[in-house]
Chain A
Amino acid sequence: MSPTLATSRTAQTARWTRKDLLDLRTLSAEEIHLILHTAESFREVSLRPIKKVPALRGKTVVNLFFEPSTRTRTSFELAAKRLSADIVNIATQQSSLSKGETVLDTVRNLEALKVDILVIRHAAAGVPHLVAKHAAASVINAGDGAHEHPTQALLDLFTIQEKKGRIEGLRVSIIGDIAHSRVARSNIWGLMKLGAQVTVCGPPTLIPPQIEQLGVRVTHQLDEAIRDADILMLLRIQHERQEAMLIPSLREYRLTYGLDRERMSRAKPDVLIMHPGPVNRGVELDSSVADGPYSVILDQVTNGLAVRMAALYLVTTWRNS
């Protein structure tokens, strides 16, 4: 009943000193904890009757998406709006990029309009880093190629912390197309920094060679990835992978790597199922599992909003450090 006054030691001492949020590879464990702590504080805002605080009043955020996205873009848009920022959405299909303008020219034009934060998604790895180097505005990476998707990994870490009370010492298995997944890469960095043990699992064609060097365990047997795991993180299998002949067929993938109720019976009783969405029901994940009691897929979406509010807030206040 009595409100807690205690706050984690890390969050008390850590300070955000970065203009941008580009990846988890270069963040320290303290910085990750600070983001998670800040997100925890923001979660309450969305539970109020008036879901808005004035923290970013007068700031302008641009969602610059060179790749189609609904959930990440919507999540950033709502996060900005709940912080009272103004937000503009730019999708490539309707922008000058389809007229041949370069990314940096687009950014320079936006900067001439005095925007404060650029949220960027691009099919090529490194584009947000490039823009961050040239722009005075803060840049948040909303997914670049198969490189990183930091806010997705942060919301996954937040969800694990929320449900399990800790991250350190947990066994996390990431299952699916590791080779093409920015979600997997960001999660591997984040989970390892916070002391979890990571296993990646998938067909050899979808596991990058030498990924062991990151410190993860590799298996091609789904049952081995399920056994002992505290968290099962499923990745979306994209139809293009079949066309590229990396998997024989979606049906075959399902038979070998699809998570169904029968396979779930061999998992730990308190296992959590996570998925960054959108779910391919009946391919990587059976409906009975996706909607089952151990699924936290919708909690991930809810927490994503709080994490993105934290990201927008922190990159806005970085100058003060």
Chain B
Amino acid sequence: MAEFREKAKVMDAEAIRRALTRIAHEILERNKGSAGLALVGIRTRGAILAQRLAKAIEAIDDHPVPVGVLDITLYRDDLSRIAPNPVVHATEIPFDVTELHIALVDDVLFTGRTIRAALNALTDLGRPKTIQLAVLVDRGHRELPIRADFVGKNIPTHLRERVEVRLAELDEKEEVVLEAPVDAEVR
């Protein structure tokens, strides 16, 4: 596998915090409050972001928002192609999604295939009233007709580059970094 080197730091801890606060306000605005609203994060970093967004929304609206975690491994369209084989983790959605407004949360929106899988997984659990999409970073290069409703930051990228989201809960650091393959830099 190609080696990657940091090209630019696109968000620091403060920028991430501000983006999430803004998205929390936007979600409340779109749904006219938090009644009938639930957040569902896609494992692993989307789940952490969903927890943070829920806290931010509660701080604004004073109502707790239910949060669930979705594992989309079983819904991937590349199960027989990717390496190494992905470990399946549990989906933990402790509420009935039917008739709820669901804000799906992920860290990076890229090809859209993860979101396609998440939509299938969610609709297998029930019939949400609406499903909206919130992402911290939209890096472009969609392969499916999918777009985000709430975006922390749009980052123009090359297809071969990599967007690394690091969150304090999991990675010790708190930042979004754009990385480029080493050989591409040399050329």
Taking Cβ atoms with an 8 Å cutoff, the residues of A that contact B are 1-5, 7, 11-12, 14-16, 34, 37-38, 40-45, 48-50, 52-55, 83, 310, 313-314, 316-321
- Residue contact A5 to B47, C-beta cutoff 8 Å: yes
User: When the two chains form their complex, are residues B69 and A42 in contact, meaning their CB atoms are under 8 A apart?
Assistant: no
Chain B residues touching A, range: 20 to 34
The answer to whether A53 and B124 touch across the interface, beta carbons within 8 angstroms, is: yes
Q: With a CB–CB cut-off of 8 A, which chain A residues contact B124?
A: 48, 50, 52-53
Residue on A with the closest CB to B75? A54
Q: A5-B48, A48-B124, A320-B80 are contacts. A53–B87 as well, Cβ < 8 Å?
A: no
Q: Which of B67, B82, B88, B126 contacts A320 (CB 8 A)?
A: B82
Residues A11 and B67 in contact in the complex (CB < 8 Å), given A3-B92, A4-B92, A50-B125: no
Q: B170: which A residues are within 8 A, CB to CB?
A: 5
Which B residues are within 8 Å of any A CB, using their own CB? 43-44, 47-48, 51, 67-69, 71, 73-75, 79-92, 94, 120-121, 124-126, 169-170
Docked pose: A41 CA to B69 CA in angstroms: 12
Known A2-B51, A3-B67, A48-B125; judge A41-B88 contact (CB<8 A). Answer: yes
What residues on A are CB-neighbors of B120 within 8 Å?
54
Is there contact, CB below 8 Å, between B87 and A55?
A: no
Query: Which residues of chain B have C-beta atoms less than 8 A from A1's C-beta?
Result: 94
Offer 11 A-B interface pairs, CB within 8 angstroms, sorted by A: A5-B43, A11-B87, A16-B85, A38-B88, A41-B71, A44-B91, A50-B124, A53-B75, A316-B79, A317-B79, A320-B81
Residue from B69, B85, B86, B121 within 8 A of A3 (CB atoms) = B69
Residues of B within 8 A of A3 (CB): 47, 67-69, 92, 94
Whether A313 and B88, one on each chain, are in contact in the complex, defined by CB atoms closer than 8 angstroms, is yes
Q: Considering the chains assembled together, what is the distance between the CA atoms of A317 and B83 in angstroms? A: 9
Chain A residue numbers with a CB within 8 Å of B125 are 48-50
B79 contact set on A, CB distance < 8 A: 55, 316-317
Bound Cα distance A90, B150 (Å): 52
Q: Determine how close the nearest CB of chain B comes to the CB of A136; give it in whole angstroms.
A: 14
B121: chain A residues within 8 A (beta carbon): 53
